[in-house]
Structure 1
Amino acid sequence: MASHRRPARVTVLTAAAAATAAASLGAVPASADPGATPAATRATVDRLYEEAEKATEGYNRADEKANALRRTVSQAQDSLARGQERINRMRGVLGSVAGAQYRSGGIDPALALLLSSDPDSYLDRATALDRVTARQTAALGELRREQRSLSQKRSEARAALAELEQSRAEVARHKRTVERKLAEARRVLASLTVEERADYDRASRTGERAEGPDGGPAEPLPPLADLGPSRAAAAVIAARSAIGKPYVWGATGPSAFDCSGLMVWSYRQAGISLPRTSSAQRYAGRQVPLSQAQPGDLVTYRGDASHVAIYAGNGQVIHAPYPGARVRYDPVNMMSHVTVTRV
């Protein structure tokens, strides 16, 4: 990846890789070398943005996991409540039967037969009592099974809660890393002159922005009518409507986006659910050669797929670049390790 131009944005990496990145990147200096050239300063900002983007990949992944765990815990708690209600009802029924037997005297069957003036009637009652006893035995067995099941569910719920707390801590850790890297980048940018900062904001990583002077694409894009009614076309149309919206890490629209959040939102408008992270989006469909890219294809970058864009046609993509920038067009080859995925 060319490092003398515009920084990355913030997405999602594997939790382990992001954690490793966060640890290894902590030694990056907080400010630029006072004697550094503007080009070196821009390279430092690019690196910090890329590091923040990788940490955001970890943040998004951990946040997605925490959300899934919250749903699991909620379902477990509902199941526990329903299980306890069943057990309470079963205990109530068994208690009522036991109380009725106690009130009837619970006389020994042999003695009851001797005292009975109508042995045939007694035998009928004894048979009925045997059936009641059999049902009680079955009910007791079911109660024990329900109690064992409830105990297992309680254990699983405790484990899910513990995992949720761990995931929340992981989210917070990645968030701190992202915020630290972004703060460092802001301090470095502050060392640039107004002219140097304007030059930085105009430039892409390749030094060739794909935007025209009016903020539109430098090259004509396929007419909307030519994109057809496909869902990929609908995603492109949605991404075009987001041009000019600010980059905010962790955001999924509609007023702000990070890079993978823009893809999630654009495809959601087309009725398609994408994974939250750019690394997962790389495998959300069939990979095709860059030479065969079509509007609506996802384009991921770097070996870890920590940045993603949507192909807009004519060698251009739409993406949310990095903090401080807005959703815009850029060349499809703006970074290294380009992978095209058709959803």
Structure 2
Amino acid sequence: MGSHRRPAATGLDRSARTATVTVLSAATAAAAFAVPASAAPKDTPAATKAKVDRLYEQAEQATEAYNKADERAGTLRRQVERAQDKVARGQERINEMRGEIGTLAEAQYRSGGIDPSLALMLSSDPDAYLDKASALDRISSRQSSHLTELQRAQRALAQERAEAGRTLAELEKSRKTVARHKRVVEDKLAKARRLLNTLTAAQREEYDRASRSGGGGREAPRPDPSDAGAGAGAPASSRAAAAIAAARSAVGKPYVWGANGPSGFDCSGLTQWSYAQAGVGLPRTSQAQRHAGRQVPLSQAQPGDLVTYRGDASHVGMYVGNGQVVHAPYPGATVRYDPVNMMPGATVTRV
């Protein structure tokens, strides 16, 4: 009877099985402890805060682009209104001219119903007829002049209508640009809010207290308003003093993107509104505000000067003295005081 025992494994077979078991065990262990490629490690609070800062910076840049596009749309809207009003007045004038020409034509028809030479022969009062004929010539001359003027007015009206149409088309394009920038801002802010929601309440409170760029977790001290001209130079002008007073009155108001007061502000909206209270018109965007006056070194800043930040001038505040600016920092924060060197690339503009 044959044996059913399996043949003894050779040394080579045992080695192969052992190697296979070892490889499989290692692979199983590696799989048990491996982190999926799609699962990134959880950010530290510091990394989350840094991401929020970047998103707020990008949102601020998009906000300034939105403000610029919105300002452009407002300008175009006013141009369209003026053009439409001009077209309406031009059409009214043409209607009046047509009425005058119709009256002249009717008078000419009534006076010139027969051949002038025959009318003269049949006239019982040749002198009176000649007077009428002379008047008729004047009427014809006036009619010709009116027709020429009407043609010119019609050509001008056609040009004005075409220009109004082009401006209206440009306005519609600008409105789409505004809407696109608005979506970008809202997307950035939504991402920032989601990231902030991953922090604990204490970490969010610390973030709210800190300046966005290196506040060290401490809320910037609010300077005594009476110190604005003490040890830091007086305001550059009476209008600068009035603008400072307006900006101070806004402290505590919420940051609202795209807003320029009086209940909420974005950064350039605050400075524009503050100087408007002093009777000074500033451009809407921080980039344009950087060039709204004479630039001076930071070491020579005086209260009321505008301070723009970063190479693209995407943020702006107002210097109030003692190394402080008042500004609208970012969504979720309120208008407040912060150190003038809170962000890189500070440029000072004296309005």
Normalising by the residue count of structure 2, what TM-score does the alignment of the two structures yield?
A: 0.84
Q: Which residue of 2 aligns with 1:303?
A: 311
How far does residue 228 in structure 1 lie from its aligned partner after superposition?
Answer: 8.8
- Pairing 1:40-55 to 2, within 5 Å after superposition: 40-55=47-62
| Cα distance per residue 1:229-277 (max 9 Å; x no partner) | 7110111111111111110001111111100000011111111111111
1:211 and 2:220 matched? yes
| Cα distance per residue 1:78-125 (max 9 Å; x no partner) | 111111111111101111121222234522222222222333332222
1:321 and 2:333 matched? no
Matched-pair contact (CA < 8 Å) for 1:220–1:314: no
Q: Which residue of 2 aligns with 1:265?
A: 273
Matched-pair contact (CA < 8 Å) for 1:320–1:328: yes
Matched-pair contact (CA < 8 Å) for 1:219–1:314: no
For the structure 1 residues 71 and 142, does the alpha-carbon distance in structure 2 shift closer, same or farther, using more than 3 Å as the test?
Answer: same
SS in 1 for 2:348: strand
Q: Which residue of 1 aligns with 2:99?
A: 92
Match of 1:234 among 242, 261, 265: 242
How far does residue 279 in structure 1 lie from its aligned partner after superposition?
Answer: 0.4
Opposite residue 160 of structure 1, the aligned amino acid is T
| Number of residues of Structure 1 aligned to a counterpart in Structure 2 | 309
CA–CA distance in 2 between the matches of 1:35 and 1:261? Answer: 37
Q: Which residue of 2 aligns with 1:76?
A: 83
Stretches of 4+ moved more than 6 A in 1?
A: none
Q: Which residue of 2 aligns with 1:291?
A: 299
Opposite residue 153 of structure 2, the aligned amino acid is E
Match of 2:150 among 143, 152, 169: 143
CA–CA distance in 2 between the matches of 1:152 and 1:206? Answer: 57
1:221 and 2:230 matched? no
Which blocks of at least 5 consecutive residues in structure 1 are unaligned?
1-31
CA–CA distance in 1 between the matches of 2:321 and 2:81? Answer: 44
| Cα distance per residue 1:129-181 (max 9 Å; x no partner) | 11111111101100000000000000011111111111111111110110000
Opposite residue 256 of structure 1, the aligned amino acid is G
Normalising by the residue count of structure 1, what TM-score does the alignment of the two structures yield?
A: 0.86
CA–CA distance in 1 between the matches of 2:214 and 2:186? Answer: 26
- Pairing 1:1-343 to 2, within 5 Å after superposition: 35-204=42-211, 205-208=213-216, 209=218, 211-212=220-221, 216-217=222-223, 221-222=227-228, 227=235, 230-343=238-351
For the structure 1 residues 220 and 120, does the alpha-carbon distance in structure 2 shift closer, same or farther, using more than 3 Å as the test?
Answer: closer
Which blocks of at least 5 consecutive residues in structure 2 are unaligned?
1-38
Matched-pair contact (CA < 8 Å) for 1:246–1:255: yes
Opposite residue 294 of structure 2, the aligned amino acid is R
Opposite residue 169 of structure 1, the aligned amino acid is K
| Cα distance per residue 1:276-331 (max 9 Å; x no partner) | 11000000000000000000000000111110000010111000000000111111
CA–CA distance in 2 between the matches of 1:100 and 1:219? Answer: 80
Question: Which structure is higher in RCO with an 8 Å CA cutoff and minimum separation 6?
Answer: 1
Q: Which residue of 1 aligns with 2:30?
A: none
Matched-pair contact (CA < 8 Å) for 1:288–1:342: yes
CA–CA distance in 1 between the matches of 2:249 and 2:40? Answer: 40
Matched-pair contact (CA < 8 Å) for 1:210–1:219: no
Matched-pair contact (CA < 8 Å) for 2:325–2:339: yes
Question: Identical aligned pairs, as a percentage?
Answer: 69
For the structure 1 residues 324 and 210, does the alpha-carbon distance in structure 2 shift closer, same or farther, using more than 3 Å as the test?
Answer: closer
